[in-house]
Amino acid sequence: MKISELSRRTGVPVASIKYFRREGLLPAGRATAATLAEYGEEHVQRLRLIKALTTLGGLSIAATRDVLTAVDQAETTDGTLRAISYALPVPVTAASAGDPDRDAQAEAAARADVADLIARMDWEVADSSPHVQALTTALRELRRLHADYRPEGLVAYAELAHAIAGLDLERAAALGDSPALAEQAVIVLALSGPVIELLRRLAQEDQVRRRSLG
């Protein structure tokens, strides 16, 4: 199909398709003339994936490129899952500086809480995991706001998060080994976040309403 048809099929404007081409997110079409290219179903599927990652997943163009590269290079489902897990952008990286003494104390306390939590949960995570640092930052900021989680409170959340990750992995691992299914694994891992968040918000809405009426 021509680029205009590809645009119509996916709802992605022609200018955006050209942009994704230039940024290396979308493979070239088959050249049929100096200025014309023919696109196939693989381009439709790839464009929908790009759109889902950038809009629903909230990924930057650079992060999307990293995830797509990981998908294209992985040879097994587990390799794909691992590559994707590390390539996905980390939700919180914001750091802040205040009183240096208090900051150091809050940072140390948050770091200890995270180490304690990981030990209690018996989680195997790399020392260099970006998620460990991000969670430390999040807990440090909550401490500075005097809204710190007690360790047992964190464990309650962690157990629910663990159950959710189990559902994610079951879905992803059931998909098999083909490249098309690797794309599905990305979708599950990258997009279950927004779905969970919306379900939590709906449940929150329900429980707030019941409290207000009660």
Q: Which phi and psi (to 5°) does residue 37 adopt?
A: -135, 150
Residue 123: CA count within 13 A, CB half-sphere: 21
Task: Kindly indicate which of the ranges 17-25, 35-43, 59-67, 190-198 contains the residues binding its own copies, using the contact rule CB under 8 A.
Answer: 190-198
Q: Which of residues 79-138 bind its own copies (CB under 8 A)?
A: 79, 81-82, 85, 88, 90-92, 94, 96-99, 103, 118, 121, 123-126, 129, 131-132, 134-135, 138
- Contact between 208 and its own copies by CB under 8 A: the answer reads yes
Give the angle subtended at the CA of 113 by the CAs of 143 and 117, to the nearest 5°.
135
Binding letters toward its own copies, positions 14-33, x by CB under 8 A? --------------------
- In the bound state with its own copies, the residue whose beta carbon lies nearer, of 35 and 101, is 101
Residue 168 in contact with its own copies, rule: CB under 8 A: yes
> Which CB, 37 or 158, lies closer to its own copies?
158
Give whichever of 21 and 193 is closer to its own copies, judged by the CB atom. 193
